[in-house]
Structure 1
Amino acid sequence: MGQSRSPLGVADLERLAARGWRAPEEEPLGGWLMRAGGGFTGRANTALVAGDPGCPLPEAVEAVAAWYRARGLRPGAQLPGVQARRADAAFAAAGWDRDEDVLVLTAPLVAGPDGGVPVELAGTPDDGWLSTSGYLRRAEPATARAVLTNAPEVVFASVRADPPPAPPVAVARGVVTGDWLGVTAVAVAEEHRRRGLATAVMAAVTRWGAARGAGWVYLQVTSSNAPARALYRRAGFVEHHRYHYRWAPS
């Protein structure tokens, strides 16, 4: 993958990524997007702060808080890039807690090579996939699947060391939105790391995305995940922008 600069700005890329990780319930607040997905993942249960909410920022913060509390969820906001600084200050003034930075990385899409590791591709994640990804620790399977499969073109990649019902030892999710491939949920069982399995599932997902016309790829990684950041840097990804979450006081 080369080092060309992404053709999308921060707000447009975040809106595209939101279409690739869609919550079952969404409602706009001006240019912001409030999302609820049963508490499964920050991306599906926070307000995407991109654009003008159509009202003064303190009122927008209160509207977000009320929307999530009405659904029994802790109010949260996703604040991407420098364009969200004024809104971030408003959430901070209301006492909302800040999480660590998440890096959004992009690269021109080049289909990865077939390195000889058998990778299974499926249209839905089974319980083994959810277990390896870690999502079974965060939500009931039905809640997780409602978010993970809520896209027109989505794939779930798995590498297995043993036949089912043994869980996979490496997994990844891919979603094509327009001409972009989003790669998420790359995970490898601890005892199988440093064997090239993350590279294998990513290569399979990029081949799948390229076959569907995607020309660019994005992914997200927390700033504290040094091994993953090194893997993606070697694969040619560059930082596009960062975002963080804010959460209302409990």
Structure 2
Amino acid sequence: MGQSRSPLDVVGLERVAARGWRGSEEAALGEWLLRAGGGFTGRANSVLVAGDPGRALPNAVDAVTAWYRERGLRPCAQLPGRQARPADAAFAAAGWERDEDVLVLTAPLTSGPDGGVPVDLSPTPDDAWLAGYHHRGRPLPPTARAVLTNAEDVVFASVRLDEGPLAAVARGVVTDDWLGVAAVTVAEEHRRRGLATAVMAALQRWGAERGATWVYLQVTSSNAPARALYRSAGFIEHHRYHYRYASD
């Protein structure tokens, strides 16, 4: 992949990503997007701070807090790029705790060979797929399936090498001309065998068939092995975001 610059700015790409990983409930706060999904993942259970909330920032913080408290969720804000700095300061002033940086990486989409690893693609995740995806190292809650499937054009990739659990899984979604890749998980006993590269390639072929020309993904700043993998595949950093959480 080349080092071409993404055609979207921070807000534009975050709005695409928000359509690719949605909560089960959404509401607008000015240009901000409130999302709730039963507590599964920060992205589906945070307000996307992009644009103008239509009110003074301290009042916006209060409105976000109330919306999540009403749903029994810990209030959370996703704060991407420099445009979110004033809001970040307002959340910090209200005592919200900052999480680590998440890197949003992009690359022009390429459709290469399969590399000899059989990758199955399905429009829905079966029980084996759900068991293979450990979000932040934990089994998935019952609400996960609804969040994972809540997209217009989504696919679930899996690799089975033996009769045991799946060796690798990943999720792909096409939004406009962007492929979003997420949930890339390789079982510990099958790592360093090229399986993550194989599922990435399969998803890119799938995305290309649907007209995608760019691909994005997110990786935490502390995940050095994944960052190295994506760097070697030609991904470059587009921007960063972080979450802030209200005090319990």
Where on the TM-score scale, by shorter chain, does this alignment land: which range? Answer: over 0.9
The match for 1:206 is: 204
* Structure 1 residue aligned with 2:182: 184
Counterpart in the other structure of 1:104: 104
**1:140 corresponds to which letter in structure 2?**
P
The count of corresponding residues between Structure 1 and Structure 2 is 247
Residue in structure 2 matched with residue 21 of structure 1 by the alignment: 21
Equivalence for 1:195: 193
**Distance apart, 1:114 and its partner CA:** 1.0
* Cα displacement (A) at 1:138: 5.1
Matched to 1:13, the amino acid is L
* Residues 130, 140 of structure 2: 8 Å contact kept: no
> What TM-score do the two structures reach when normalised by structure 1?
0.97
Partners of 1:225 and 1:131 in 2: CA distance: 21
Q: Distance in 1 between matches of 2:139 and 2:99?
A: 18
Q: Which of residues 223, 245, 248 is equivalent to 1:247? A: 245
| Equivalent residue number for residue 141 of structure 2 | 140
Q: Distance in 2 between matches of 1:215 and 1:29?
A: 31
Deviations 1:95-126 (A, max 9, x none): 00000000000000001321010000011111
8 Å contact kept, 1:40–1:138? no
Deviations 1:163-209 (A, max 9, x none): 4xx32110110000000000000010011000000000000000000
Matches of 1:72 and 1:88 in 2, distance apart? 23
Please give the alpha-carbon distance, in whole angstroms, between the structure 2 residues aligned to 1:85 and 1:201. 35
Partner residue of 2:228? Answer: 230
Percent identity over the alignment is 77
Q: How far is the alpha carbon of 1:127 from its aligned partner? A: 1.8
Equivalent residue for 1:39? Answer: 39
Aligned partner of 1:4: which letter? Answer: S
Which residue of the partner structure matches residue 172 of structure 1? 170
In 1, Cα distance between equivalents of 2:229 and 2:211: 24
- Structure 2 counterparts to residues 11-90 of structure 1, below 5 A: 11-90=11-90
User: Which amino acid in the other structure matches residue 175 of structure 1?
Assistant: V
Unaligned ranges ≥5, structure 1: none
Q: Measure, in 1, the Cα distance between the counterparts of 2:122 and 2:109.
A: 21
Match of 2:213 among 200, 212, 215: 215
User: Residue 5 of structure 2: SS of its match in structure 1?
Assistant: coil
Distance 1:219 1:225 in 2: 13
Contact kept in structure 1, 2:131 and 2:140, CA below 8 Å = no
Report the Cα distance in structure 1 between the residues aligned to 2:113 and 2:32, rounded to whole angstroms: 39
SS in 2 for 1:137: coil
Shift of 1:90: 0.2
Moved runs in structure 1, 4+ residues, more than 3 A? Answer: 135-139
Please state whether the residue corresponding to 1:44 is helix, strand or coil. Answer: helix
2:156 equivalent in structure 1: 156
